Structure 1
Amino acid sequence: MAAVKRFPKAPAHPERVCWGCDLYCPAKSMRCGNGSDRTQHPAELFGDDWDQWGLEAEAASPPPPPPLADANTF
């Protein structure tokens, strides 16, 4: 069984690689045919803290409201 490649959080030169599949091909010679343009790394799109987005939102969200009383009960 082949080892699974780990997805790098902060590669040195993300612009040189297509991140669209697990082949991680050079941007100039993509083997998978995943479109005509390379897929950008999340750090290129969202910044260096891309892997932390949304984590604090779960901890800071208020608890859900209590369920409403049944309309048939008085």
Structure 2
Amino acid sequence: MNAKTFPLAPSHPERLCWGCDRYCKWNALACGNGADRTPHPVELFGSNWTIPLNSTLVDRSGRPADTENAE
């Protein structure tokens, strides 16, 4: 069974829970764990949530990447 494709910019993210592949309505959560609705990343981080900040880029050693010399 394949997972659903995660929508990058849904028209009304506040109407659904984004915690699993079920995408339940906010008032009818089917997970059954008693948790609150999981917000979509666009609600938390804004419309450009898929673009990483330069300050968060790291190289394989875990050190910040050299973004000045990046091509």
Partner of 1:24: 23
Moved more, 34-43 or 8-17: 34-43
How far residue 34 of structure 1 moved from its aligned partner, in angstroms, is 4.1
| TM-score, normalised with respect to structure 1 | 0.68
What percentage of aligned pairs have identical amino acids? Answer: 49
The count of aligned residue pairs is: 61
AA aligned opposite 2:15: R
Q: Which runs of 5+ in 2 are unaligned?
A: 59-63
Q: Which runs of 5+ in 1 are unaligned?
A: 64-74
Instruction: From the superposition, tell whether residues 4 and 36 of structure 1 become closer, same or farther in structure 2 (CA, over 3 Å).
Output: closer
Runs of 4+ displaced beyond 4 Å: none
The structure with more radius of gyration:
1
CA RMSD of superposed structures (Å): 2.4
Distance 1:27 1:14 in 2: 10
Partner of 2:66: 62
Distance 1:28 1:9 in 2: 22
| TM-score, normalised with respect to structure 2 | 0.70
